[in-house]
Amino acid sequence: EAGVVQSPRYKIIEKKQPVAFWCNPISGHNTLYWYLQNLGQGPELLIRYENEEAVDDSQLPKDRFSAERLKGVDSTLKIQPAELGDSAVYLCASSLGVAGAVQYFGPGTRLTVT
Amino acid sequence: GENVEQHPSTLSVQEGDSAVIKCTYSDSASNYFPWYKQELGKGPQLIIDIRSNVGEKKDQRIAVTLNKTAKHFSLHITETQPEDSAVYFCAASGSGGSYIPTFGRGTSLIVHP
CB-facing half-sphere around the CA of A31: CA atoms within 13 A: 18
Residue B106 zone, left/alpha/beta (φ > 0; ψ -120 to 50; rest): left
- pLDDT over 80 (residue B99): no
Q: What are the chain A neighbours of B6 within 8 Å (beta carbons)?
A: 42
C-beta atoms of B43 and A41 within 8 A:
no
DSSP A38-66: -TTS--EEEEEEETTEEE--TTS-TTTEE
For residue B69, what are the contacts with CB-CB under 8 A and spacing of at least 6? none
Give me the pLDDT at residue B36, please.
97
Provide the pLDDT confidence category of residue B95 given band limits of 50, 70 and 90: low
pLDDT at B96 over 70: no
Question: Which residues from B are below 8 Å from A when comparing CB atoms?
Answer: 4, 6, 31-32, 34, 36, 41-46, 49, 51, 89, 91, 93-94, 98-101, 103-106
Residues contacting B45, CB < 8 A, separation 6+ = A105, B36, B37, B38, B39
Residue scoring higher pLDDT (A82 or A58): A82
pLDDT, mean of residues A12-19: 97
CA A23 to chain centre: 7
Residues of B within 8 A of A33 (CB-CB) are 100
**Closest approach of B5 to chain A, Cα-based (Å):** 11
Helix (H, G, I), strand (E, B) or coil at A114: coil
Average pLDDT, chain B: 93
What count of CB pairs under 8 Å joins A to B? 53
**pLDDT tens across B32-69, in order?**
999 999 999 899 999 999 988 889 999 999 999 999 99
pLDDT score for B98: 61
Are A104 and B46 within 8 A, CB to CB? yes
- Residue A27 CA, chain-centre distance (Å), reads 17
Q: Is the peptide bond before B8 cis (omega within 30 degrees of 0)?
A: yes
User: In this complex, do A99 and B94 lie within 8 Å of one another by their Cβ atoms?
Assistant: yes
Select the residue of A41, A91, A100 nearest B32 (Cβ to Cβ).
A100
Other Cβ atoms less than 10 A from the Cβ of B79: the count is: 11
Distance CA B87, CA B107 (A): 5
Q: What are the tens digits of pLDDT across the range A62-88?
A: 999 999 998 889 999 999 999 999 999
Tell me: pLDDT of A58 over 90. no
Strand B10-14 relative to strand B107-112: parallel, antiparallel, unpaired? parallel
**What does the mean pLDDT of chain A come to?**
93
Verify whether the Cβ–Cβ distance A100 to B31 is below 8 Å: yes
